[in-house]
Structures are given as structure tokens and as C-alpha cells.
Amino acid sequence: MSKKDSQFQKRVMSLMFRGKEIFKPLNTGWIDEHVACVREWIANIFFYTKNGTTIMIDAGYNYDRLREKMGWLGIDPASIRHILVTHQDTDHVGALERDSEGLFRQAAIYLSEVENRYLTGEVRRRVYFHLYKLPMVITDNPRTLLQDGQVLDIDGIRVECLLVPGHTWGHMVYLIDDEYLFTGDTLWFGADGGYSFINGLAEDIELSKRSLAALEKTLRERKLCPKIITGHTGWTDNLDFAVAHRDRVCNGFKKQKPHDPKAPWDGYVETDDTEEKARTVRLAKQDESIWRSASGGARPMNRKEQIKSAYHLAGSNASFYDGMITCSTLPGKIICGAVWNMGREKNLRYLEQALSGILEDFSGRLLEVPVGTGVLTMPLYQGLPGADITCLDYSPDMMASARAKANALKLSNVRFMQGDVGALPFEDETFDTVLSLNGFHAFPDKEAAYRETFRVLKPGGTFCGCFYVQGGCRRTDWFIRHLYQPKGWFTPPYETEESLRQRLRALYRTVDVSRVEGIGVFRCIKATRRFP
């Protein structure tokens, strides 16, 4: 489509959809350390970066400001050598068309063999119930044609290509490193959860719904919980939210209900998409509060609620340690603020991130080391009745406190062992998940701890948690040097955020490291083959 046609669509669709809360694009910015996003009016294009390679997902409109906004993210268009195309619609391939600015002339594009029939002219793309034919896309980029289920290895990045026809005949979604699912126009997120994408733009509405159901089945059977990232309505890491209305389609001809207070009146107005925000503000996931309220009835607590339950479990008679960890007592709040520069919100944020590696329906074998007093995890384990959980700690006093909490919650699937993280009493590849909260900064032999937690984790398993990292907060660093270390509470050497990232990348296939003040948070996936 020419630049003129892109501008035509901007004018027409702005009039058609304003006020209907249909298009809710993310602003330009970063979702996390791996995934960046550029906003082009109502559409988003994405960039996945790992080990020095950046893969682009979709190519947006024929859009004048793409180079500028990529600059906000520190991404050079000339560095892009691989572009995954979900489908060939106007707002997903514009930057690849012959009359575009040509930012990606040398990049290879990947799309399904079926979708390529649109580009060859064998099939014409029709929208609005097949009444309107879109102009044919012309691109000169080299193409790699994909089959359903094909797996690519792009500079060590694993890309699984899944065919989800319906919106177009050859629409694909891309599952990257089992952690991120880029869905293009497969899903539409409303305030009350996910639907199949907009009715008037689908080649076959019923096929699109069947494809979404099949995609959900694949994810659940493989027990995957990726970040699910859409082309027009943001992202979520909650599969239940994403497919809440899997058998229904978004009706693009009426105003959406329930009302989404965060939806723009006109998605084509970009005044709130700024360089300052792109550089400083992480892109939040979809708000689930309306969906949760609408679902009604009894339901398992979500991760944030489980953490808040830990705050209540600490209670007014909590130990000093429990109150500090949960930031729930007056002394605890004072310590959190003075030492860690955190209030309740930041405390909740890092704990939620640290526990994100444990699926909400997890039913495998889990090792927590060290368990400490169990104030954070016993409420979590209450919601995992199918899991086999082992909690280990070197301190019998800490473990006694954790056991008392487990008994109070009547947890029958949790057992406790005294032991040393540097010499774990388990066979190789025993656990599906290893969790370590606020422990590594105290371990005297950190090398042995990294080695042992890796050894007992199964291939494909998750290692997640958090601990103090140096350099994240000057105030915290001062207290660690002058109080915590002399008292023997913490033991050097300490990781920095970057050294932690590099260390974990040397061991694990997929690594996500972030930081909240002086706390480093990590989630890693062990390769399905053993490292030498």
C-alpha cells in the first residue's frame, strides 16, 4: 500500500472507530528488557532483543515517524535483519512496501506460505464481510516462507511459528523463547478480557474463533504462560484473561461494553506518545480489574492477591523480619523506606515479578531455597494444591516459623528440610521450578549455590526469585556496607544487575532480569538439553 493509501486509512478509520474503544495501542516504550514497542497511530510494532540480535515483529504502516520513534528506543533501523510478519494487512507491512522510506531494504521477512499468496496476487485480501478489496502489497524484501509448527533459530533466539487462520487465511503468531507470544490480529482485549479479533476485518469469523481455541489448547497442554502481546490492544501475562471470550468476536460496529476507562477516544491521536515516556516508563499490561469483577463467584487468588494475603498473614503480631519483608508493619515500613527506598507499591511490584515464574495452576515439583519464615510463599502454596513442594533452609528457627504458617493454612503438599544450598540433597533434574527469594546475598558460597540450583532443575524448568544487587540504590548500598555486612546478615561478593544478567545467561536458555531499587529480580528457563 502506498503512503497515500496509509493516510487515507488513517482519515477513514479515525472517523469510523473514534469513541468506540476498539483500538487501544501501547505507546512507544519497553515492556521489559527484551521487548520494545513503537506506536504508529492505532497499531504497534515490536522488537525482541537478545544477545545483541534484534528481531522486528510486523512492520506497521507506511509511517513517517518510524525512524524517529525507533531512535527513542535506541534501535537503529539498519540493525534489523529479520522481520516476522504475522499477516500482510496495511498496518503490519507498510514499512516494507516498495514506496516506503526503505528503512529495512536488506532485512529478510518471514511469513506463512499461505499468507504469501496475497503477495503473489493469487488471492486478494477482502475486508468488511468481503465487500472491499485492499490494494495489493508490493515488497522487494527476500522472503522465507513458513509452515505451521516450524521452528526457527535466529542467532540463538528460538521462534516457533503457529498458523492461526481466520483474520487472514495465512495469519501466524510467533512464540519466542517460549516466553513471548506475538499474536498480531488474532486477539482483541476488552476491559472484560480477550475476544477473537474484529468481525468486519476477518476473512472467516468462525475459523478465527476455532483457531484461537486451538492456540489456547496448545498453550495449556504445554503448560506455557507467555507474555501475550497483541497488535492493537496491549499485552497480558494471564492466559485466562486473554481467552476469556474465546468463542466470541469483537464487534467493531458499536461502542464496546463494559466501558474501558483507559481507552483513547481516537486511537489515531498520538499526543500522549512522547520520547520522555518511551525512555522512562515501562508499558503496563492490561488492567484485569473489570474482568475479575465481571467473572464473579469464588476463584483462586491471583499472584498480587496472594502476596497481599502474606501481608495479612504477617499481621500485627508479626516478627520484625516478616513485617520488613512484607512492608506491612510500622517498623517494617520504616526499614523499607529508610534502607531500601521502597513503599508498599514497590515492595509489591518486585515480589510479584519474582513470583511470576510460577504458573497460577502449577502442579509440578517445586523447591524453595531458602524458605525463610515462609511469610511470602505459604499463601501462594495454598493456591497450588496439585504441586509437590519442598522448602529448604539452613536455619532451623526460620524453618520452624515457616512450618507453623503451613500448619495454620493446613498445607498438606509442603514438606520442610534443613540443608545447605551449596550441597542440595537431591538428584540431578529433580524439580520443575526452583524459587529463591532474598537468599543469594546471604549465601557464603554463591558459586556453589548457582551450580546446585542449576543441577537440580529439570531441562525446560524455571529458576526465579530475587535478591539484593549492588549499584541499584546508593542508600541501600551504604546500609549493606556499614550495617548488614558487619552484622553478618549479608555476605559479599554481590552481583550488580548486569553481572547477574550475564551470569544467568551463561547457564540458562532464556533470562529475564529486572530491578526495583536495590532488588534484582530474575526469571530463567533451563535449556531442554544439558549444558556441557
Q: Tell me the pLDDT tens digit for each residue of 148-207.
A: 999 999 999 999 999 999 999 999 999 999 999 999 999 999 999 999 999 999 999 999
* pLDDT for position 359: 84
CATH of domain 303-525: 3.40.50.150
CA separation, residue 345 to residues 85, 308, 314, 468, 473 (Å): 38, 11, 17, 18, 17
Please give, one letter per residue, the 3-state secondary structure of 60-105. Answer: CCCCCCHHHHHHHCCCCHHHCCEEECCCCCHHHHHHHCCCCCCCCC
Which DSSP string corresponds to 381-392? Answer: HHT-TT-EEEEE
* pLDDT for position 296: 53
Q: Tell me the pLDDT tens digit for each residue of 465-498.
A: 999 999 999 999 999 999 999 988 899 999 999 9
CB half-sphere exposure, 69, CA atoms < 13 A: 24
Domain 3-260 has CATH 3.60.15.10: yes
Please give, one letter per residue, the 3-state secondary structure of 204-270. Answer: CHHHHHHHHHHHHHHHHHCCCCCEEECCCCCEECCHHHHCCEEEEECCCCCCCCCCCCCCCCCCCCC
Residue ranges, the chain, pLDDT below 70: 1-5, 8, 295-319, 529-532
What contacts 148, CB < 8 A, 6 or more positions away? 112, 161, 162, 163, 172
* pLDDT for position 508: 93
* pLDDT for position 1: 47
48, 176 contact by CB (below 8 A): yes
CA separation, residue 15 to residues 6, 40, 47, 512 (Å): 14, 17, 30, 41
* pLDDT for position 2: 53
**Domain ranges in the chain with CATH number 3.60.15.10:** 3-260
* pLDDT for position 112: 97
CA separation, residue 415 to residues 176, 325, 368, 402 (Å): 35, 22, 10, 10
**Domain ranges in the chain with CATH number 3.40.50.150:** 303-525
Q: How far is CA 103 from the centre of its chain?
A: 28
* pLDDT for position 316: 37
All 3 cell numbers of residue 354? 519474582
* pLDDT for position 288: 86
